[in-house]
Amino acid sequence: MEIVLATQNKDKIKEIREILKGISVKLITFQEHSRELSVKEDGKTLEENAIKKAEVWMKETGKPALADDSGLEVDYLTGAPGVYSSRFAGEDVTYADNNAKLLKIMNGVPEEKRTARFRCIAALVFPDGRKEVFQGIIEGIIITAPRGKSGFGYDPVFLVPEYNKTLAELRDEIKNKISHRAVAFKKVREYLSQDKKTTKIKVCGITNREDAFLALSLGVDAVGFIFAESKRRITAVEACKIIDALPQTILKVGVFVNEEEKRVRQILELCHLNMLQFHGEESPEYILKFREKTIKSFRIEDEDSLKNIPNYKASAYLLDTYSEETYGGTGKTFNWDLAVEAKKFGPIFLAGGLNLDNVEEAIRKVEPYAVDVSSGVESYPGKKDPKKLEEFVRRVRGISNAD
């Protein structure tokens, strides 16, 4: 796998390369890319900035991108400089400028009130819309004068009590084990070292905040909001209220059926959707009008149902059961041999009648990229059953990890 390091900071690149050394991933830097990219770090949190940088580089290169944002949080300053750490003393300043301003503000503050921490958020963003976020923290004390010539940023004024040295005084082999960035990127390393056969889970037909947060708490990868005629239809206004409360790490998918392009774009902008799912007779040309990640759904009846899939340039393909009466939500399965055949076209979301009784068999047989469930975990249309959903997730994760 090739991953783009979404940073132009040579100090960071050196440190990250050392931490991730030895895993079977090729790291590509801006020096190996055709051009440099400038990303405005205007997020309100470290997570927002990290994800934004990774997304920009991912879209530019078409490859998974890895970015981070770090901040120094000084307790005496109620968490400042935080997300503004790199420009604490202003725009286009040096590390020394930031350190000088911090020490000036902290002049005369007693040691017991000089506690602080470095926090690092690393974000790994994939072309298929997945986002993985990792956090690392190291606790320390702000000293009264810089010490050490190694490291960068605030390292010379950040004392690690366990070693009685600043991060700028520690040897690289120690720093790369205990620093905030080391902790975060060790988690990245563990993630990249895992077997990636884990099947993703999308819960569709979300109509209320409780179900959305239940899915989030269970570690579901994506939630779907249906903006078409359905028992589980939701208005854009209600969907926005739910989506705005959810973190960036869970995908929000808008489901449309033969909708006008203008209306799709209105809901996309209003609700900040991550992916668009088209569940009707939309043409290949229609799908190409959208730069966002797309899922094109196909209702599967027989082998002929697969013939049109290669004509669509979508990010993934969702396979549902054919019905003359409805575009989805039949609660019935189809011949999964056809789903196995369809995998050659790209990532497959397997839908159609999945429930507690058959999802493990479905994953064993098809090994889909993701499973898509709605009616199979409901108390009634539009309302998820907490026990069913929890058990569904447990079974999906269990069969994925076992394999």
Long-range contacts of residues 363-369, Cβ cutoff 8 Å, at least 24 apart: 363/199, 363/396, 363/399, 363/400, 363/403, 364/399, 364/403, 365/336, 365/340, 366/336, 366/339, 366/340, 367/197, 367/199, 367/343, 367/403, 368/199, 368/339, 368/343, 369/128, 369/199, 369/200, 369/316
pLDDT in tens, the chain (403 residues): 789 888 877 878 888 888 888 887 888 886 665 556 678 888 899 999 999 999 998 888 888 999 999 999 999 999 999 999 999 999 889 999 999 999 999 999 999 999 999 999 999 998 877 788 898 999 999 999 999 988 889 999 999 999 999 999 999 889 888 999 888 988 888 888 764 568 999 999 999 999 999 999 999 999 999 999 999 999 999 999 999 999 988 999 999 999 999 999 999 999 999 999 999 999 999 999 998 899 999 999 999 999 999 899 898 999 999 877 666 666 789 999 999 999 888 889 999 999 999 999 999 999 899 999 999 999 999 999 999 999 999 999 988 655 5
Q: Where are the domains of the chain?
A: 2-193, 201-397
3-state helix, strand, coil split of the chain in percent (to 5) is 40, 25, 40
Instruction: Residues 201-397: name the CATH superfamily.
Output: Aldolase class I (3.20.20.70)
**Beta-ladder partners of 15:** none
SS3 3: strand
Q: Do domains 2-193 and 201-397 have the same CATH topology?
A: no
Question: Could you give the residue numbers annotated as active site?
Answer: 69
Provide the edge-to-edge strand list for the sheet that holds 165-166.
Answer: 26-28, 2-5, 65-74, 115-125, 131-142, 158-160, 165-166
User: SS in 3 state form for 95-140?
Assistant: HHHHHHHHHHHCCCCCHHHCEEEEEEEEEEECCCCCEEEEEEEEEE
> What is the C-alpha separation between 109 and 17, in angstroms, rounded?
37
Closest CA to 37 of 23, 52, 20, 16: 52
Instruction: State in Å, rounded, how far the first CA of the chain is from the last one.
Output: 21
Tens of pLDDT, residue by residue over 42-66, are 889 999 999 999 999 888 888 899 9
pLDDT of residue 34: 53
Q: Which CATH number fits domain 2-193: 3.75.10.10, 3.30.1360.40, 3.40.109.40, 3.90.950.10?
A: 3.90.950.10
276: left (phi over 0), alpha (psi -120 to 50) or beta: beta
pLDDT of residue 265: 97
92: left (phi over 0), alpha (psi -120 to 50) or beta: left
Residue 3 vs residues 117, 280, 400: alpha-carbon distances, Å: 29, 35, 24
Question: Which tokens go with 131?
Answer: 């986002």
> What is the C-alpha separation between 205 and 117, in angstroms, rounded?
42
Angle of helix 180-193 relative to helix 10-19, nearest 10 degrees?
50
Q: Are 226 and 271 in contact (CB under 8 A)?
A: no
Question: Which tokens go with 85?
Answer: 């750490």
pLDDT of residue 63: 85
pLDDT of residue 119: 94
φ/ψ (deg, to 5) at 283? -80, 160
**Beta-ladder partners of 223:** 203, 252
DSSP-derived pairing of the beta strands 165-166 and 200-203:
unpaired
- Whole-structure pTM value: 0.57
Tens of pLDDT, residue by residue over 274-304, are 999 999 999 999 999 998 899 999 999 999 9
